[in-house]
Structure 1
Amino acid sequence: MRKAFFIITFLIGELTGFQNHPTDSVINRIIDTPLRYPIRFAYVADSRNSFDPNDPSADSIFSLIKETINEISPLFVVHGGDFVQRGYTWEYDHFLNVIDSFETNLLTVRGNHELYADEGPYLYDSLFGETDYYFDYGGYRFIFLADCQQDSLIDPYYGTHWIDYFISEEQIEWLDSLLTEADSLGYWAFVFAHVPPYLPGHDTTYCLGYYYYYPRPNYSLSHTQEFTDLLRDHNVIAGLFGHQHFYDRWTYQGVLYLISGGGGSPLVYPLQPPPYGAYVHHFLLFELDSTYSITVKFYEAGSFLPDPQFTFTYSVEVEEESTSGPPEITTTQTLILERGQPIPLISDRISGTAYLYDISGKRIGEIIGGSTTLWTDELSPGIYFLTYRFPGGVKLLRIIILPG
């Protein structure tokens, strides 16, 4: 089976003439490209098909994304992981067909779905090479690491391996050495991993450090705090992740954290309303200039134009400047109400107007400072977001309306 697989892989590379594996070959093509600013790269993650046959085809959605990326022609694209369902041979073979039809360089991050099948880790290593790697280009350092590993235990229900979610002590030391060296060279870094870290007060579930994940207690054994501390203490512009099937943008301890898991897999509700969160299949385009200022553009699957609502610039020397939307949200809480109950607000702490958004980001209501309640009689059951200013920042209230 393995021999047949590699014969097919070889033929695919011969037919297309643009083979996006192994990783070393792709990196060599990138660094051999004459430097020109802005450096442009795309990021997409979580393009695996759903296990529910009634869900839209992830392959079709990812094909739309690929078409736009080919048209834009960035220097490279990063796939942030979960490009197969279980990690079987035929699934890897299918993914190679897809990435070798990209007209640009493509790099991968290994996700948890690449590991469920017994042969998953072997296939990834054989096709792509090391899971932890880096390269430098144009004064930037790009660092990639795997933060999920195959466990030897088998799930009795699915018959596939359990997954452990952690960054090892050796990886922490490796990352620290790379970031320290980048600091000494005057470089600024991007760090890529599949599973985003636990960010207290914001992203606390289905992430590195989540209490439900193994090994337990995951927050300490996964070295989540050591990881985020490293990003804080070094010249890191941003951490880029997938795993969670939505878009999310958050600044924690001075570091930009972006989750972009909209490559085609079934979507889940985001943590924030636009322009900081989105419930839509998408990819991101990064434009990096020589002064370490970056522009991030958001492309919905099937669109050849970025959505200006989500476009923003970020500089390592100044606070984040958004082209639209409210300032960076500092706290998040969830309120569960039955339809018809009021949304309680402390009016004397509200500065200006509070805005109510539905899950798509459409503004559907507002409350002027001085009022005390916003009624939910006309709201359908579902998830809503309320944003308002208060002393010290902007507050985000996630509201879940249950049937009355």
Structure 2
Amino acid sequence: MAAGPGRGGGERGYRLDSEDLEVGAVLRSPRQLIIELAGTDILAPMLRAVGRGLVTIFTLHRFTDPEHGVIGLDPVALANQLAYLRRYRYRLLGLSEVVERITGRNGHSTSPAVVFTVDDGYGDFVRIGAPVFAEYDCPVTVFIPTGFLDGRLWLWWDRVTYLFANARRTSFFAPELGDRPYQWSTPEELARVQQYVLDALERVPAPQREAAIAALSGQLEVELPETPPAAYAPMSWDEVRKMARRGVTFGPHTVTHPILPLTPPDICKWEIEESYRRLRLETSSTVPVFCYPAGQARQRELQAVQAAGFSAAVTTIPGYAAPHGIRDWGALRRFALPRFPTTEDRPHLVNVVAGLARLRPRIRRPRPRK
């Protein structure tokens, strides 16, 4: 069976190398012991001191919602993480506050700060995620592909997942996806083929991707519904306004979620500017921060976002959103703010907010499948 609705069947993230987490090692360095104990309360005060001055932005996508068949971040795990951050007095800030802090318009604090963002605007945020953030009085910003909420499309990776989950055949040959046939006989083989297709389609321009999905639909003998089923559906604009009244803020995430470096200049400009215009029409709780689809951007995209009047933009490059932690883009660096993924593993979260990710030069980064 193919992975269910969600980002590859759940949140994928960066982690420290497994050799650092080897519990059975005869000799462990102090750093290894810290990593192993990070999820407990034993070292919490010390770790908070280690993280002084750090600004950590996390990104999430889906929240586990069994009633709608969604696999994502377990809300119990999220609550556990937020409780830890509150208990040890990490500053849970809104994204706009952090942008002001980074750019020097709001001074500098040595208290470690944490920000949560959610990409794509799925309905499970409203049903599952938002109540958890509200319970812990934690600000959160949701990045919206406006065409998704307007009903113009459902997101391409969800269409691929739907096709494999409902496939009537166990093989296909689509020239748009390579020059050889693909087949499977076990769920594991199906999952590998599906992942190959998702990875391949992320690297091609939107017109080519749409042609490939249409070919795949025919090969697998599955008709795609015109609108996304409940498991893949977005929140509504009414729900956006409802969440805004409860303190949630929103940022633009393009109109159709293309990989911007693969688009022509005029399309890139339109996707950025039109999504900002459309979002501001629907809610006054729009923040002037852009989110690049799949976190992918080059200098052209950074300049286009700056020209569109944004204060900052976020990527999916792991790192700390402080001046010393941003890739050296010079005057454009605030348009390439890094973010860490959120996982259900509390030690992972604690390692990140405490700054231990800086101690490890090799961080494994699975390819984002967005």
Which structure has more RCO (C-alpha within 8 Å, separation ≥ 6)?
Answer: 2
- When Rg is computed on C-alpha atoms for both structures, the one with the higher figure is 1
The structure carrying a bigger helix percent of its residues is 2
The structure carrying a bigger strand percent of its residues is 1
Same fold (TM over 0.5): no
TM range (shorter): 0.3 to 0.5
TM-score between the two structures when normalised by the length of structure 2:
0.32
